[in-house]
């Protein structure tokens, strides 16, 4: 599959099969993040992979899911089987670094997807609790988590027709994700 096809096919996955992921795949994801573009090539990012089932279970309560779906979260039996946390080392980058995080996150996501593994970036985190749980040192900051696992859902992307950016579940429980049409966001030569 071409990179473009992979990008178009990728959807955020929030329900996962309870099949463990190979350490090699998780390492490959972090390696893809490691070589991502980095502002001033500072490379301030570090990663914590959580794949031990007990540790994975401890992380879940500190994550928040699908803000547009009231009272919805992955149920036992469909929760992630691994997480990759992206940390910013503040000794290497005293401020900023968010763009590096975004690029690294997409590299992780696409590397996983190439192997059929789905993911959800999670910015809504209890960082205080997770800092303690994961032993994150003072000079590092948890920026983003990526929840991972083989997909147990097949969300569909659709062209946004009205004003709402909210993803929603249809009657069959299928997740629909509206995207603004190309002609509303692309400007050639001037705005």
**Residues that bind ligand FMN in the complex, under the rule CB under 6 A:** 11-12, 14, 64-66, 120-124, 155, 167, 177
Closest separation in Å from C-beta 86 to ligand FMN: 10
Stretch (H or E) spanning 5:
helix 3-9
Rounded to a whole number of angstroms, the minimum distance from the CB of residue 166 to ligand FMN is: 9
Q: 72: closest CA among 27, 115, 33, 120?
A: 120
Closer CB to ligand FMN, residue 23 or residue 129? 129
Q: Which is nearer to ligand FMN, 1 or 99 (CB)?
A: 99
At closest approach, how far in Å is the CB of 58 from ligand FMN? 18
Residues 51/81, Cβ–Cβ less than 8 Å: yes
**Closest CB to ligand FMN among 66 and 110?**
66
Least Å from the CB of residue 59 to ligand FMN: 13
- Least Å from the CB of residue 23 to ligand FMN: 25
Minimum distance, C-beta of residue 41 to ligand FMN, in the bound complex (Å) = 23
Distance, in Å, from the CA atom of 107 to the CA atom of 105, rounded to the nearest integer, reads 5
* Closest to ligand FMN by CB, 115 or 158: 158
With beta carbons less than 8 A apart as the criterion, state whether 178 and 164 touch: yes
Cα separation, 61 vs 80, whole angstroms = 12
Pick the closer one to ligand FMN by CB: 124 or 164. Answer: 124
Query: Residue 63: which residues within 8 A CB-CB, separation 6 or more?
Result: 122, 124, 125, 126, 145, 147
In terms of CB distance, is 8 or 22 closer to ligand FMN? Answer: 8
Q: Cβ neighbours of residue 84 under 8 Å, at least 6 residues apart?
A: 26, 29, 30, 33, 47, 48, 49, 50, 108, 145, 146, 148
């Amino acid at each position: 599959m071409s990179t473009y096809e992979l990008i178009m096919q990728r959807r955020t996955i929030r329900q996962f099969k309870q099949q463990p992921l190979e350490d090699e795949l998780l390492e490959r994801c972090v390696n893809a993040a490691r070589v991502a573009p980095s502002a001033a090539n500072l490379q301030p990012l570090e990663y914590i992979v959580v794949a031990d089932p007990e540790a994975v279970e401890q992380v879940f309560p500190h994550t928040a899911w699908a803000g547009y779906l009231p009272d919805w979260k992955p149920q036992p039996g469909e929760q992630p089987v691994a997480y990759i946390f992206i940390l910013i080392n503040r000794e290497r980058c005293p401020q900023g670094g968010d763009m590096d995080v975004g690029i690294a996150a997409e590299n992780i996501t696409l590397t996983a997807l190439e192997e059929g593994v789905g993911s959800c970036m999670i910015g809504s985190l209890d960082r205080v609790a997770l800092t303690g749980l994961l032993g994150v040192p003072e000079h590092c900051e948890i920026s983003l988590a990526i929840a991972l696992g083989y997909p147990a859902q097949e969300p569909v992307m659709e062209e946004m027709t009205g004003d709402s950016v909210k993803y929603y579940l249809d009657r069959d429980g299928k997740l629909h994700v509206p995207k603004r049409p190309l002609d509303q966001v692309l400007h050639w030569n001037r705005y």
